[in-house]
Amino acid sequence: MLLHAEAFEADEPEGSAARGSQYMSRKDLQRIGIALVVFTVIAFPVYQHFKRQGEKAICSNNMRTMAQALLTYGVDNDGGLPLAYYSDNAGNPQLHQGLPITWATFAQSGMNKRASFKCPSARGDEAASVTPYSGRQAITLTYGMFAGAAGRAERQFDRPSETVLLAETSNGGANETFNPLPLGKNDGFLIGLDVSNAQGGELKTALDEIKLDRQRNEGDPLKQGLREPEFVTRLAFPGTRGHKFSGAGASRHDTGINVIYVDGSLGLLRPPSAAIGDRYRWAVP
């Protein structure tokens, strides 16, 4: 059965049939505005979440690329990693045109062009500026090498899959990060200890001296010797300037900071992992 429909009358004046207004009322506009505000409030946290996840993925890719570049460097240098930095006669970072020569200087030659030495989640003041391998453009760096792994070969580590090689860092104590022994204005390239910035064999010697000192003063209530190291320096954990490495502490990424172990594998660390007591992650072989 066909529904009845009014016949079209060509001569009927336009607008003669009753119809609603062709324009939105003020109430309609208010409803649309409220809907847009609600949508924005709901969508913005979701956008921020996916933005942070994307930045974390980019950071992970940066670190994998740096690890591959360092491993390639090792192949050409009897398996040995570069030093964390090259020092002058006084033990300070050696400068070239005002910038320190670091592990990143030598890793740059093996870096993929799509990767970067800067994490997209890092603040501008957290980046160190170091000497490039070639050209005049300084390397902007938000990653550091652990001093204890510098200059060594993977075969020299008992637990290469558990000893940190690279991690996300914050330069010069920026963003309230822990940095008790700064190495000038550009020190974000180095992950050291709170009692020593020594690297390689020098770091092992420093730790041995601390151990002997602790034994020597075992019965001394004043503990006159060197303080035993407790925390790792310059990691990208905001708010840790006063030794506040709590489980609820902030990290550059929601889930922690990215690290690369000596064997080239990728991992994540939370603030409590900055403790020297985690013997495998920070131990010197």
Residue 121 has, within 13 A of its CA and on its CB side, a CA count of 28
Most confident of 50-64, 81-95, 123-137, 149-163: 123-137
pLDDT digits (tens, 9 = 90+) for 233-270: 999 999 999 888 888 899 999 999 999 999 999 999 99
| The pLDDT value given to residue 42 | 73
Q: Please, are residues 147 and 199 in contact by the beta-carbon 8 Å criterion?
A: yes
Whether 40 shows a pLDDT value over 80: the answer reads no
Decide the pairing of beta strands 190-191 and 143-146: parallel
Whether 1 shows a pLDDT value over 50: the answer reads no
| The pLDDT value given to residue 264 | 92
Whether 14 shows a pLDDT value over 70: the answer reads no
Every domain of the chain and the residues it spans: 27-282
Distance between CA atoms of residues 254 and 262, nearest Å: 24
| Higher local confidence (pLDDT), 229 or 162 | 162
Distance between CA atoms of residues 270 and 254, nearest Å: 10
Helices (H), the chain: 26-76, 103-107, 201-216, 279-282
What is the rounded average pLDDT of the residues 26-39? 75
CB atoms < 10 A from the CB of 17, how many?
Answer: 8
| The pLDDT value given to residue 8 | 45
Distance between CA atoms of residues 243 and 179, nearest Å: 10
Whether 220 shows a pLDDT value over 60: the answer reads yes
| The pLDDT value given to residue 45 | 65
114: left (phi over 0), alpha (psi -120 to 50) or beta: alpha
| The pLDDT value given to residue 12 | 52
What is the rounded average pLDDT of the residues 19-26? 64
How many residues make up the chain in this entry? 285
